[in-house]
Amino acid sequence: MAEATFQCPYCGVGCGLYINDKGKIKGDFEHPSNKGDLCKKPLYLPKVFEKGRIAKPLYRQDKNEPFTEISWEDAYTILKAKLTNLSPEETYFYISGQLLTEDSYVINKFVKGLLGVNNIDANSRLCMASAVAAYKYAFGSDGVPCTYEDIDDAEAFIFIGSNATISHPVLFKRVLKRRRETEQTVIVTVDPLETETARKSDLYIQIRAGTDTVFLNSVLYVLHKEGWINFEFVERYTEGFEKAMEVARNFPPETAASICEVSKEDIYIVAKIFAQSKKLISFWCQGLNQSVNAVSKNLALINLHLATGRLNERGCPFSLTGQPNAMGGREVGYLSNGLPGYRDVRNPEDRKFIEKFWKAENISPTPGPTVTEAIEEILQGKIKLFWTVCTNPTVSMPELSKVEKALEKAFLVVQDSYWNDTCEYANLILPASQVGEKEGIMTGSDRTITYCHSFKEPFGDSKPDWLIFTQLAQKMGKGNMFPYAQPEDVFNEFKLTTSGRLCDISKLSYKELPARWGNRWLYKDLKFPTESGKARFYPAKFDIAREKGKFILVTGRLKNNWHTMTKTGKSPELLKGELPPFVIMNPVDASDMGINERDKVRIYSDRGYIDRIVIFGNIKRGHVFTPFGYPREFGEPVNILVSDRYDPISKEPDLKYAGVEVIKVEDAENIYRGDL
Ligand SMILES: Nc1nc2c(c(=O)[nH]1)N[C@H]1C(S)=C(S)[C@@H](COP(=O)(O)OP(=O)(O)OC[C@H]3O[C@@H](n4cnc5c(=O)[nH]c(N)nc54)[C@H](O)[C@@H]3O)O[C@H]1N2
Ligand SMILES: Nc1nc2c(c(=O)[nH]1)N[C@H]1C(S)=C(S)[C@@H](COP(=O)(O)OP(=O)(O)OC[C@H]3O[C@@H](n4cnc5c(=O)[nH]c(N)nc54)[C@H](O)[C@@H]3O)O[C@H]1N2
Ligand code: SF4
Ligand SMILES: [Mo]
């Protein structure tokens, strides 16, 4: 291995890492995001680098047949024939916030520019889409308004729907450091499960899943009632306050306390913190984003910042980005409505600019289907070819029985570094090089861009993702549109699309990284890129799915494993304590049902069932929690039980709210045998 610096390929904190020539990983002390700190996951990267990798392109025409190894040349020939014979609308590309910016840029250009169709989406649809929609609504543009430096002089931190202790560990450690240094610092966590983050907080509010919009509206209600609204800020810099208040008036603390099953006092305390602390940052993540009511949840929180003037030196609403380069994907515009430089296919000027820039005359003005809609379109026979890049949908997407049926039906291309569960459904598998073997950039949660140097030769015949699509485009006769020989060629093209935009990096070169785009405060002068130049309040209406079943199934993350475990799952050190697949139950609920700790239970609904070992924890009565990432090697994936209904604006699925029943497996088996 060669000595190198690169960005951690796991979470969105975007820590800079350093690897020495013996393969030992350390935090990069020069990197602004982590200043040498790191968590446990990347320490084991070198050990899992080669286990379970895909070495060669693999092909089978018939899914009942075994795969045969083929050459890249043959793989491109097969793909060219498919893409020529099918109409662009019959193809779909599903990509990832774990790709490098250069990868996403080239793939997005291939689909929207070369094929001329917007049939592309990323796993960010399951992750950040709601935060993107909310930021755009409130501030007129996407992008986190502040940066990590703001942690260092804030005095109040709210974590709502975020288990940052395990999901964004280095960031959370920075918050704890601030608390150690300053006595008056207060940390509040709002979550149905008493997580590690909750345990380290000063106040833990155990909310009923799905009801955050009510809780946050009630905080606004109290702010108003107590005379704590900053009217000067509201009048000068915002619009829509009255409409938001109209909704909030429906939720006095007595009403909200009974819907959310929290105490009135807790609502009051949060309002007081919003009104009186010196500087407040509210962090949120998937507990707000993955919901049928997600955009409302997000905006009900942003409303509180607008109502109390908590921006810039007084605080910030800070959406935590999950994946290491979801921010880069947003800059590139990789969702079904995006174009590079924070542009949108629906905007004629944006389209015209990119068409000219790409020399493509055919960018469609209609957003393509989102990935859940694409699954429907496969089942309806409209989409015939489905191509995944750097994502594992047969574990991570909701309503898995539908996903499996669809992927069984489509001509499926899987482009991945490791053999994952989705490979089982593929016709064609393309081996991809991973971070460490390829070069390019990633953008972390607070807009800091890092250059990832490689430190190893590509595994087997694997190729960088940007190169696979470049070579295919060249094979299809579009070498003039895709002339890239190295990642820097892609970067130099992409960066020009950002010139004069919010995410302007047009003057940056690889050599200057790490560097952040935008001011420390994105809206420093309190002028917002909305029509009126003002930030917008949102009337945050409440909605919740009506699910059958005695329990609400809440899903989330494991501490030491990453998603569907294709990498971390190869390390015994990281698996320790996280296997076998478990479910957290409230001990009172469990004892009512004669269930003990370590019992094996079956969690089921009309959608199917999964088996889990019971662990007791302080989870709200009537709720159970299980991590979502276990692949089939370890047990049934939980997304068998999760519905694909979604938020009407962001179209992000309701991944954390499924109605289920729970029964001891031995009883379930008795019932089953009885039926026989
Ligand atoms: N119920 C429930 N479901 C959820 C969630 C939840 O909280 N609850 N969370 C959702 C969220 S937020 C997310 S982000 C998704 C994540 O879901 P996925 O994106 O499906 O999860 P990963 O396991 O990260 O998949 C990444 C894949 O990329 C491969 N890979 C790694 N590096 C490279 C590379 O450089 N190139 C290529 N081509 N492949 C590479 C890995 O081997 C792996 O197969 O899951 C979502 N699903
Ligand atoms: N170790 C580790 N770290 C990761 C990842 C990983 O796989 N492993 N994945 C990364 C990615 S892609 C992402 S998106 C982030 C996700 O980071 P987080 O969002 O912090 O992680 P989750 O565990 O999915 O969900 C956070 C919390 O939301 C709570 N929750 C569920 N429903 C509700 C609700 O209705 N209201 C409220 N207030 N809370 C609710 C859950 O109980 C859970 O504790 O983590 C990133 N970091
Ligand atoms: S906090 Fe996130 S980015 Fe930093 S080392 Fe841990 S997983 Fe990697
Ligand atoms: Mo995510």
pLDDT tens per residue, range 547-579: 999 999 999 999 999 999 999 999 999 999 999
Alpha-carbon distances of 27 from 30, 145, 460, rounded to whole Å: 9, 26, 28
Mean pLDDT of the chain: 97
Tokens representing residue 437 in the block: 């073997």
Residue 671 confidence (pLDDT): 58
Residue 120 predicted with pLDDT over 60: yes
CB 655 near ligand 3, within 6 Å: no
- Which of the listed residues 10, 35, 558 should we mutate to test ligand 3's pocket, taking the one with most ligand atoms within 8 A of CB? 10
DSSP H or E stretch at residue 591: helix 587-592
Nearest to 144 by CA among 153, 155, 132, 129: 132
Residue 674 confidence (pLDDT): 45
What is the Å distance from ligand 2's center to 627 Cα? 9
Assess contact for 145 and 522: CB atoms under 8 A: yes
- Which of the listed residues 44, 163, 165, 289 should we mutate to test ligand 2's pocket, taking the one with most ligand atoms within 8 A of CB? 163
Quickly state the pLDDT bin for 670 (edges 50, 70, 90).
low
Residue 596 predicted with pLDDT over 70: yes
Residue nearest to atom 14 of ligand 1 (CA): 127
Q: What is the DSSP letter of 432?
A: B
Q: Give me the helices (H) in 147-240, please.
A: 164-167, 169-181, 196-199, 212-225, 231-237
Residue 249 confidence (pLDDT): 98
What is the Å distance from ligand 1's center to 518 Cα? 28
> Which CATH code is given to the segment(s) 58-126+335-436+469-506?
3.40.50.740
Residue 675 confidence (pLDDT): 44
Assess contact for 190 and 305: CB atoms under 8 A: no
Residue 676 predicted with pLDDT over 60: no
Residue 673 predicted with pLDDT over 60: no
Provide the sign of the torsion angle of the four alpha carbons 177, 180, 183, 187, taken in this order: positive
Tokens representing residue 615 in the block: 């662990």
The torsion angles phi and psi of 418, rounded to 5 degrees, stand at -115, 160
- Enumerate the domain spans of the chain: 58-126+335-436+469-506, 129-319, 551-675
Mean pLDDT value across residues 36-54:
97
What is the Å distance from ligand 3's center to 55 Cα? 27
Please state, as a whole number, how many other Cβ atoms lie within 10 Å of the Cβ of residue 151: 21
| CATH-assigned architecture of domain 129-319 | 3-Layer(aba) Sandwich (3.40)
Residues found in the chain:
676
The three-class DSSP label of residue 18 is strand
Distance between CA atoms of 262 and 268, rounded to whole angstroms?
11
The torsion angles phi and psi of 328, rounded to 5 degrees, stand at -65, -40
Residue 669 predicted with pLDDT over 80: no
What is the Å distance from ligand 2's center to 142 Cα? 21
Beta-sheet strand order (sheet of 203-205): 203-205, 186-190, 156-160, 280-284, 315-319
What is the Å distance from ligand 2's center to 1 Cα? 34
**Which atom of ligand 1 is nearest to 9's Cα?**
32
Quickly state the pLDDT bin for 472 (edges 50, 70, 90).
very high
Give residue-wise pLDDT tens across range 296-341. Answer: 999 999 999 999 999 999 999 999 999 999 999 999 999 999 999 9
Residues in contact with ligand 2 by the CB-under-6-Å rule are 11, 127, 160-164, 166-167, 190-193, 195, 207, 209-210, 212, 285-287, 322-323, 554, 556-559, 561-563, 625, 629, 656
**Which atom of ligand 3 is nearest to 40's Cα?**
6
For the chain, percent helix, then strand, then coil, each to nearest 5? 35, 20, 45
Quickly state the pLDDT bin for 362 (edges 50, 70, 90).
confident
- Which of the listed residues 417, 570, 641 should we mutate to test ligand 1's pocket, taking the one with most ligand atoms within 8 A of CB? 417
What is the Å distance from ligand 1's center to 396 Cα? 7
Residues in contact with ligand 1 by the CB-under-6-Å rule are 96, 98, 123, 126-127, 286, 290, 322-323, 389-393, 396, 415-418, 420, 432, 434-435, 465, 555-556, 563-564, 566, 628, 638-639, 642, 655
> Which CATH code is given to the segment(s) 551-675?
2.40.40.20
Residue nearest to atom 5 of ligand 3 (CA): 38
Residue nearest to atom 1 of ligand 2 (CA): 559
Assess contact for 173 and 203: CB atoms under 8 A: no
Please state, as a whole number, how many other Cβ atoms lie within 10 Å of the Cβ of residue 648: 12
Residue 191 predicted with pLDDT over 80: yes
Residue 1 confidence (pLDDT): 80
Among all ligands shown, which has an atom nearest to the Cα of 162?
2
CB 8 near ligand 3, within 6 Å: yes
What is the Å distance from ligand 3's center to 221 Cα? 38
Residue 4 predicted with pLDDT over 70: yes
**CA trace torsion 270, 276, 281, 282 (10° rounding):** 20
- Which of the listed residues 99, 124, 285, 397 should we mutate to test ligand 2's pocket, taking the one with most ligand atoms within 8 A of CB? 285
The three-class DSSP label of residue 24 is coil
Percent of the chain with pLDDT over 90: 97
Give residue-wise pLDDT tens across range 53-77. Answer: 999 999 999 999 999 999 999 999 9
| Full-model pTM | 0.97
Residue 390 predicted with pLDDT over 60: yes
Residue 530 confidence (pLDDT): 96
Mean pLDDT value across residues 569-595:
97
- Which of the listed residues 6, 15, 34, 175 should we mutate to test ligand 3's pocket, taking the one with most ligand atoms within 8 A of CB? 15
| Cα atoms found within 13 Å of the Cα of residue 213, Cβ hemisphere only | 21
What is the Å distance from ligand 3's center to 465 Cα? 23
Residue 361 confidence (pLDDT): 81
